[in-house]
Amino acid sequence: MENTTKIIFPYDQSLVKELPLINKNDIENILITAQNLFNDQSNWIPAFKRIEILEKAASIMNDRSEELIHIAISEGGKPYKDSKAEILRAIKGVKLAAEHISQLKGEQIPMGLTEASVNRIAFTSKEPIGVVAAVSAFNHPLNLAVHQIATAVAAGCPVIFKPSSNTPLSGLALAEILKEAGLPEGWLQVVLCDNETAELLVTDSRIHFFSFIGSAKVGWSLKSKLAPGTRSALEHGGAAPVIVESDADFSEMIPDLVKGGFYHAGQVCVSVQKVYVNEEICDRFVEQFSEAVNKLIVGNPFDEKTDVGSLITPKEVNRVEEWVNEAIEEGAKLITGGKRISDTTFQPTVLFNPSEDSKVSTNEIFGPVVCIYPFANREEAIKKANALEVHFQAAVFTKNIDIALDTTKKLNATAVMVNDNTAFRVDWMPFGGRDASGLGMGGISYTINDMTREKLFVFKSKSL
């Protein structure tokens, strides 16, 4: 009997669809298909054709945006307004990929600078790197698929895409759309499989580039098993620290941080998690922040009024509940929330001054929980913000340019937002973690460049 995966609507646990999983024996054919396309250069899709395919795909996505929003909500449980924003971003991402194809170019390398290098002209060109294996996460099922698939198409690479088994429908919908837009057979293969089969796939020597979005434990483990020569990019999570100084603008900051902390129920790799607030304004901050959090509407993600939907599985609700209870036992003060609403939803929660050793302080929460810590000395707060092994995006709120610059310089992060929340992202900016939070930078153009490699041409001639 063949194995299957059940796609469940996270909010009420109803069955959306059941799909077959491939097994280990299917991997060989999938790899042969991709490798054969890449090895025969007459198969390569010319740049003008790749632009055409991606532009057509963006247009089809635009026409079907409501259907794509519906699919994303039904499998991922992200509220309607946020899923709509995701689908619009995904369409823009496909357009960005199409646009970047014209920027794939090499450069002239000067010759004649020494006697040994006269009578030569040299230049580089960009080629597709080869077969791409991409493993994705559940939290932005369409947009992450675009970041891993549209980029490979733009670079001219055959791509094997493994979506999260919780949320494969958006990736499959994108594959259908690309096929309709003219992507030839075999250039995109979507595989649904268990972790063991996925490991067999990505560690095969025929994979030239491995793109991973998901948990650090899995990502670093897979990277350690890659075949020699396989390049990789990993994107994990962080604990998104924020420094709030006493001159911060409350009217802008409060709604911004609430959105950054509770968007998609905190299931975002740069979700606001640890907020260090100057003790001079801490009471006021806690009061205004918790007041705004209490106004958030938790409910069915299909309801357009819902601010916070469900967590991806009931198991995650149990975990968040355990972590919150543990933090309270270890000295945190519960300001608001702290309880499950149902098997699938958890109250938006604010904890005050949990121990720096509690799980909510040391691990990525990936749930609707924000922790607030008072500080007297900003240097100490920055030190605490930098204390973990994970470093992704961070933020500082102040109207003082010197404080903003000083804090930005000292926070260990790949990006520091000034007077904006840690979850800010547009798809053309570099985006990724450093240290334990990841390897390389994502962002449409950055990923396309990663999926190419350079070739140097050197011509020698007496005529030069």
> Is residue 209 very low, low, confident or very high in pLDDT (cuts 50, 70, 90)?
very high
| pLDDT, averaged across the chain | 97
The pLDDT value recorded for residue 340 is 97
CA 313 to chain centre: 19
Residue 333: pLDDT above 60?
yes
Spatial distance between the Cα atoms of 429 and 427, rounded to a whole number of angstroms? 6
Q: What percentage of residues in the chain have a pLDDT greater than 70?
A: 100
Structural domain boundaries in the chain: 4-236+437-459, 241-418
CATH numeric code, 241-418: 3.40.309.10
> Is residue 344 very low, low, confident or very high in pLDDT (cuts 50, 70, 90)?
very high
pTM to 2 decimals? 0.96
Q: CA dist 96 to 54, 133, 149, 371, Å?
A: 9, 21, 13, 36
Q: What is the mean pLDDT of residues 344-366?
A: 97
The pLDDT value recorded for residue 326 is 98
Residues 6+ apart with CB under 8 A from 228: 205
The pLDDT value recorded for residue 15 is 97
Spatial distance between the Cα atoms of 50 and 183, rounded to a whole number of angstroms? 8
Q: CA dist 327 to 64, 361, 362, Å?
A: 44, 9, 11
Nearest of 134, 185, 183 to residue 163 by alpha carbon: 134
> Is residue 362 very low, low, confident or very high in pLDDT (cuts 50, 70, 90)?
very high
Q: What percentage of residues in the chain have a pLDDT greater than 90?
A: 99
At residue 398, φ and ψ (nearest 5 deg) are -165, 160
Residue type for position 237: G
Q: What is the mean pLDDT of residues 339-365?
A: 97
Residues in the chain: 464
Spatial distance between the Cα atoms of 346 and 429, rounded to a whole number of angstroms? 32
Spatial distance between the Cα atoms of 340 and 186, rounded to a whole number of angstroms? 45
Neighbours of 19 (CB within 10 A): 14
Antiparallel, parallel or unpaired: β 369-375 and 274-278: parallel
> Is residue 12 very low, low, confident or very high in pLDDT (cuts 50, 70, 90)?
very high
Classified as helix, coil or strand, 459 is strand
Task: Decide if 262 contacts 310 (C-beta within 8 A).
Answer: no
**Which positions are annotated as active-site residues?**
235, 269
Q: What is the mean pLDDT of residues 65-76?
A: 98
Dump pLDDT digits (tens) for 429-444: 999 999 999 999 999 9
The pLDDT value recorded for residue 2 is 67
Q: CA dist 126 to 39, 131, 249, 359, Å?
A: 16, 15, 47, 45
> Is residue 244 very low, low, confident or very high in pLDDT (cuts 50, 70, 90)?
very high
Q: What is the mean pLDDT of residues 340-359?
A: 97
Beta strand ranges found along 194-260 (DSSP E): 209-213, 231-235, 241-244
- DSSP per residue over 244-312, as a string? E-TT--HHHHHHHHHHHHHGGGG-STT---EEEEETTTHHHHHHHHHHHHHTPPB--TTSTT-SB---S
Residue 171: pLDDT above 70?
yes
**CATH 3.40.605.10 assigned to 4-236+437-459:** yes
Residue 45: pLDDT above 60?
yes
Dump pLDDT digits (tens) for 100-127: 999 999 999 999 999 999 999 999 999 9
Residue 295: pLDDT above 80?
yes
The pLDDT value recorded for residue 114 is 98
The pLDDT value recorded for residue 431 is 96
Residue 1: pLDDT above 90?
no
Interior angle at CA 130, CA 124 and CA 131, nearest 5? 165
> Is residue 38 very low, low, confident or very high in pLDDT (cuts 50, 70, 90)?
very high
Dump pLDDT digits (tens) for 136-166: 999 999 999 999 999 999 999 999 999 999 9
Per-residue tokens: 312:
């991806």
